[in-house]
Amino acid sequence: MGSVLDGTKKKIGSYTGIFKNNVLNVKKENEKIVFEGICDGDIKKVCTEYFDLNTDYEAIKERLSNIDEYLKTSIEYGKGIRILNQDLWETIISFIISANNNIPRIKGIIERISKKYGKKIEYNGKEYYTFPTIQELSKASVEDLRALGTGFRDKRIYDTTRKFLKQEITLEELENEKDIDVLREKLLTLPGVGDKVADCIMLFSLKKYSVFPIDVWVRRVMNELYIKEDDETKVSKALLQTMAKEKYKDLAGLAQQYLFYWKREA
């Protein structure tokens, strides 16, 4: 879920995380970024992909800052934000879990799933667990998933896992789908994936920066800044999508992240 790496606001000297089968550590030493960890491939390549290091965020921030004062302020506030390029399978399950849930509990559930069904990797004396593959997670029954605290999302996780296991849909076809509307339709066939979750999957794992995931916070901030309805819950998704496209165009997803981070932290 961690889509924010902010090396400016908080003083993060070193960050360690797990990505696919790799335990990665990044730190800054004398203005140089250093990668370390346990990696099954070229660590520089893996980190470049994961941390989205080939994307020119300065250019993006420049474009978005010129849209209006709100974007400019939010970007100054979250100037270290990057969209991590996260593993597709893990992202799908993680955002199914996120439905009507809070972040600490989402994290806990993912940790328990990983510990029970993933593989253990030791790094610097600490234990890390990979997120289970489709095959590994398919070992879990609905009851097993419920026991890990997933609540009513248990069946959704189970059913979505089965669809991939039976290859009614594949990760490859999702990764290779260029047409964003076709891609959304495919994601929406997965149990537990609705509009918001589909958009999050596309933004956080498939680099679709034009999509605009609408959650309660984004609706709140858009209403406060532009619409000014008394009751924000009455602002329709359709209106928000139209506004986002007009204002932010192909960078709506990035704008969403800056506004979201700004509003949530402030």
Partner DNA sequence: GTCCAGGGAATCA
Partner DNA sequence: TGATTCCATGGA
List residues binding DNA (CB under 7 A): 1, 3, 98-105, 146, 149, 151-152, 156, 188, 190-198, 200, 213, 215-217, 234, 236, 238, 256, 260
**CB distance 91 to 50 below 8 Å:** no
Q: Which is nearer to DNA, 75 or 198 (CB)?
A: 198
132 secondary structure, DSSP code: P
The least distance separating DNA from the CB of residue 236, rounded to whole angstroms, comes to 6
The least distance separating DNA from the CB of residue 76, rounded to whole angstroms, comes to 19
Q: How many residues does the chain have?
A: 266
Which of 171-203 are b and which e, b meaning 16 or more Cβ less than 10 Å from the residue's Cβ? eeebeebeeeeebbebbeebebbeebbbbbbbb
Q: Which is nearer to DNA, 66 or 102 (CB)?
A: 102
**CB distance 233 to 203 below 8 Å:** no
CA distance 239 to 177: 27
Q: Which is nearer to DNA, 102 or 176 (CB)?
A: 102
**CB distance 190 to 162 below 8 Å:** no
Q: Which is nearer to DNA, 54 or 100 (CB)?
A: 100
Q: Which is nearer to DNA, 31 or 143 (CB)?
A: 143
Written as six digits, the tokens of 107 are: 């994290």
Q: Could you give the C-alpha distances from 154 to 107, 145, 148, 191, in angstroms and in order?
A: 16, 5, 9, 11
Q: Which is nearer to DNA, 41 or 194 (CB)?
A: 194
The least distance separating DNA from the CB of residue 139, rounded to whole angstroms, comes to 20
The least distance separating DNA from the CB of residue 95, rounded to whole angstroms, comes to 7
7 secondary structure, DSSP code: S
Contacts of 168 (CB under 8 A, 6+ apart): none
Residue 49 three-state SS: helix
The least distance separating DNA from the CB of residue 109, rounded to whole angstroms, comes to 9
The least distance separating DNA from the CB of residue 41, rounded to whole angstroms, comes to 28
Q: Which is nearer to DNA, 36 or 215 (CB)?
A: 215
Residue indicated by tokens 């799908």: 92
The least distance separating DNA from the CB of residue 5, rounded to whole angstroms, comes to 12
